[in-house]
Chain A
């Protein structure tokens, strides 16, 4: 049994990244390094209004005064921020229809299994494809426009909806928030913008595929989603990136704003290059994601399946400001080989009768470290706030680590918070039960892991659930013991 398990373990750790390839697309590159000139360069290239330049420069000046955070349970060699290229955009930009999209770019998406045409035909997924930094193609735009929904690239939004952008950009994640948010604010190149008008239920899942492609190009997306009163939107984000030897930096910022009675559902499948079996290379993923339930009875729900990246530093949070608002966080994080994940959430209860629910499932294999770090804070005025947190960790092998660091701060006597966490391995009895019924060990493990994550996977939109299950299978392929 033990040797068989070892073999299986060997197989898991041996499974290499399946989505690795480098596409050759003509790109326009900014000089390496970061200074005020580079910010001018980015601002000029993007043809942004004056106030954006000021905003970027303010962020940059503040960033220079900040220190890289070191509190997370991750280790990596120091990042030289002056050795990174902060802007890269594919040259051919003016696309009228999908047919005009660079065939090379389309080939990449086909390799990823998400051809745009198919997506278009499929149950109505509008794709705002971001290859490196600039938007390449946007589909279903007109259909959405009929309903008054704005779904475009951030650059376009800055040009065409400056009022909305000026009002909300940085309102949830100010550039002073943290080191990586400041960096992003200074140099962000593009991202997605969504505005759903009052009372509109967005009829399709909005989705973006991010990819990091050009060598030594950090990618800094900025996403802003505003759901006006009584509206609903579901947004999907999925990522893969090609194999590279050098570590690539990724520092995105996502801001969600839900007004009265609005609901935003944000789902992520993240499968960036995690580095090879010896822990070389891989993406550094330092992301700030935060939503605010500004209006009463509003709801923000984060669902994430994290299988990639060498380092994940990510805490999708919800500020529950409106009375009766709801925040949710469902997460599956898988780490293998030398991956390190420090991820979790923050639920800040400000309004009365606010509720939050956190379900986090961590799976650690190989020599990886998987950490849940979360904060539940109930402020004085949050009468009858309610929180339920469950975080489970599964360890596969004895060379990995699973850690749980929750922070619970309660300042209101009517609030109820519950936190529970367990750490265990796949039970021999569970395996035995499956084997007894003729299920191979490998299938049994897949079955158990799938069951273990089911609670989270159920919250993914259908389009994503399939991909997420595939990813889980690949990440722990031939799996566990």
Chain B
């Protein structure tokens, strides 16, 4: 593996930080950060020879001369005045500005701990769900995250907690490494919206990592909102561990960005845990969206379900890699996975790798993957009833892509998602 310039600069920067910083709680001297740096040095950035990056080349992502330093306090406060307006979304309650958490308003059921916000502790379980030596981008984030935002949700939350992850590249290319630890207390219920934004016209790479712990009987809905049209690169890694009878639902809406890679690692660690993963993706131009999910059934009687739908237009590429792993003791497992994709252009590409790895016999596991174009029969049916071709196509695409998000529990958010999808599928534009 060739060492890239960025890798060299990262390692140098880290060593400089080591010399400059004192031993505060989350200084570069923290053993976990040093382990992570070593792991990063050892692994390097993956090339397309790496099985996990077979279809997505990191070359354009690694090219810009990113600024590695997080913003200074002064820069952060000046950033606050430039924040994007997010009218159609609730909140936001917490901003993560190039990796630094800033609180706008906190609902009563949320407790936030962070080194910079509350002089808080680094959670002892940091790096346990997503081990720094597992993957390059986890290692990178663990070593370089300027702060760790630790959120704890208790009770039955009604409203959505909105965390807006913003990377500012106004003056130069910027590398941003936000880190989040999220805990749901026993019996807690919560909804968290993570939206991703960029400022400025320089290229930016956001390497977002979140570890999520769900206590028994807790229920979390997590929404990944990636809709902003931009030339930025976004890599997200969410690792979750579910205790007894916990429920996790993740919705991903991926419409914007030059390159998006979403890693979702879900561990069903105790009996009765349940997870549902939904994704809607539409890409055009030269966009690349690469979803990777891994659902690990470690205990018996767990359920997992995945439904991802994708549309690729122009020269865009959608990749889906989903793995279901069933451990020998995870009997009575039910695991389902489905990826359906539509290609609209002769230069678009869809890659799918639905994978099953199963070591228990009393299971019911299925996966399905289809790639195709719009259903000619459905088009004919609509046209025979006087619906123009353009509108019939848009209707079909809109219906196709909205399906995974249909069960979004928040009506306002669902409506907004529906509008965005309608815009992307040109539903209104071609309406007769």
Contacts and interface: CB of A to CB of B under 8 A. Distances in A.
A416 B328 contact: no
A408 B349 CA distance: 10
A450 interface: no
Contacts of B105: none
A103 to B, nearest CB: 47
Interface stretch (A136-144, A217-225, A303-311, A397-405): A397-405
Contacts of A269: none
A393 B51 CA distance: 24
Contacts of B359: 398, 400-401
**Most chain B Cβ neighbours within 10 Å, of A402, A405, A415:** A402
A397 B368 contact: no
Contacts of A418: 368-370, 372
B373 A413 contact: yes
A71 interface: yes
Interface stretch (A92-100, A315-323, A422-430): A422-430
A423 B370 contact: no
Interface string A367-379: 0000000000010
Interface in B355-391: 355-373
Given A403-B357, A403-B358, A421-B367, A409 B349 contact: yes
Contact of B368 (A403, A410, A421): A421
Given A423-B365, A424-B363, A417 B343 contact: no
A278 interface: no
B201 interface: no
A420 B367 contact: yes
B361 A416 contact: no
A423 B353 contact: no
B361 A406 contact: no
A32 to B, nearest CB: 35
Interface string B318-333: 0000000000100100
Nearest to B317: A411
A404 B344 contact: no
Contacts of B362: 398, 425
A412 B371 CA distance: 10
B328 A398 contact: yes
A407 interface: yes
A424 B357 contact: no
A407 B352 CA distance: 6
Contacts of B344: 413
Nearest to B361: A395
Interface in B339-356: 341, 343-356
A414 interface: yes
B368 A419 contact: yes
Contacts of B51: 71
A402 B333 CA distance: 14
A408 B371 contact: yes
A88 interface: no
Nearest to A427: B364
Given A398-B331, A409-B351, A413-B348, A423 B368 contact: no
Interface string A43-78: 000000000000000000000000000010000000
A411 B356 contact: no
A114 to B, nearest CB: 35
Nearest to B312: A413
Nearest to A391: B356
B170 to A, nearest CB: 38
Chain B facing A: main interface SS: strand
A423 B356 contact: yes
Contacts of A419: 352, 354, 367-370
Contacts of B371: 378, 408, 410, 415-417
A380 interface: yes
A262 interface: no
A460 interface: no
A396 interface: yes
B356 A421 contact: yes
Contact of B346 (A396, A400, A413): A413
A248 to B, nearest CB: 29
Contacts of A413: 343-346, 348, 373
Nearest to A409: B351
Nearest to B359: A401
Nearest to B326: A423
Interface residues of B, number: 36
Contacts of B349: 409-411
Given A413-B344, A416-B372, A421-B356, A404 B361 contact: no
B300 to A, nearest CB: 11
B356 A424 contact: no
Given A409-B349, A410-B350, A402 B331 contact: no
Nearest to B373: A413
Contact of B373 (A380, A400, A414, A420): A414
B314 to A, nearest CB: 11
Contacts of A424: 363-365
Contacts of B364: 422-424
A380 B361 contact: no
Contact of A417 (B361, B363, B366, B370): B370
Contacts of B372: 415-418
Given A398-B361, A423-B356, A408 B373 contact: no
A448 to B, nearest CB: 14
A374 B115 CA distance: 49
Contacts of B341: 410
Interface string B109-150: 000000000000000000000000000000000000000000
A420 B357 CA distance: 15
A342 B213 CA distance: 36
A425 B353 contact: no
Nearest to A380: B346
Contact of A404 (B351, B355, B363): B355
Interface in B171-218: none
A401 B358 contact: yes
B355 A412 contact: no
Contacts of B367: 404, 419-421
A401 B357 contact: yes
Contacts of A422: 364-366
Given A395-B361, A398-B331, A398-B361, A421 B352 contact: no
A407 B351 CA distance: 7
Nearest to B366: A422
A405 B357 CA distance: 8
Given A399-B328, A408-B351, A424-B364, A416 B373 contact: yes
16 contacts: A378-B371, A393-B356, A398-B362, A404-B355, A406-B355, A412-B343, A413-B373, A415-B371, A417-B369, A419-B367, A419-B368, A421-B367, A422-B364, A422-B365, A424-B363, A424-B365
In the A-B complex, the 4 residue pairs with the closest CB atoms: A395-B361, A413-B343, A416-B372, A404-B356
Interface of A: 71, 378, 380, 393, 395-425
